Amino acid sequence: MKNRALKIVSSQNGAVLVLALLVVTLLAIFALGAILTSSQNLNMGAEYRSYQNSLYVSDGGTDFTTGLIMRTFSNGLTVQNSDSNSQYFVFCIPGGPCTPKSAASPSDPTAISRFQNKLNGTLINSGDTAANTPNLMLSYATGDVAKIVVEYVKTKIQAGSSSEFAARYEGIGSGSAGGVGIYFRVDGYNSNPIGEQSTVRTEYKCIEGGGRCL
């Protein structure tokens, strides 16, 4: 009778031990799942931030280039060399070496001439791509680089005071309307070390007036 009682107690202890092990195992699985989920979320967040940064670099490159186009028109359609404006950008020759700059130095005259020909409309549909054959490269203090391509699109006469007069409208602003609109396509490209890539395409319209973009 005594031995039978001991066996029952031993069996109960074994069941409790097995149940405890099962509970511990389940808790370990849940904890591991939570850790893996957190790690995955962190990785996804880091990748998103990296892609977002790449997008900002490309977009900043297009914004810089529209300003460069404006300055070029204000300078009589003469492109100022990179050491005159900024030490962080350089004009590129398609198919030639083009590396980011960290100090002021003049760009290759051929690259400057090509960029200038694109702005004055003598070079159209060049086939240049921002990723492979950029027209200029812009370096950021963070080490990021934006590759830029500019393409002349078209020239279009804008609606002006003559058409408004014909339509019997001579309201506020009609006298300053009109002019020639020169359209450019600006592509910005960035690729970072972890493989994130981004391309931003914008269309810039220069309303030429008095030798500058209005």
Q: Which long-range contacts link 47-53 to residues 24+ away (Cβ below 8 Å)? A: 47/194, 47/196, 50/192, 50/194, 50/196, 51/196, 51/198, 53/144, 53/192, 53/196
- How much is the mean pLDDT over the chain? 74
Smallest CA-to-CA distance from 128 within 85, 188, 174 is with 188
Q: E strand or H helix at 17, and its extent?
A: helix 2-74
177-192 residue pLDDT tens: 557 788 999 999 998 8
| Nearest alpha carbon to residue 88 among 100, 98, 99 | 100
Two tokens, residue 206: 């220069």
Digit-coded pLDDT (tens) for 18-29: 777 777 787 778
Q: How far is it, in rounded angstroms, from Cα 26 to Cα 162?
A: 81
What pTM did the predictor assign? 0.66
Cα–Cα distance, 66 to 150 (Å, whole number): 9
Q: What is the mean pLDDT of residues 160-188?
A: 63
At residue 201, the pLDDT reads: 93
How do residues 28-82 score in pLDDT, each as one tens digit? 786 776 666 666 555 555 666 777 888 888 988 899 888 888 888 877 777 766 5
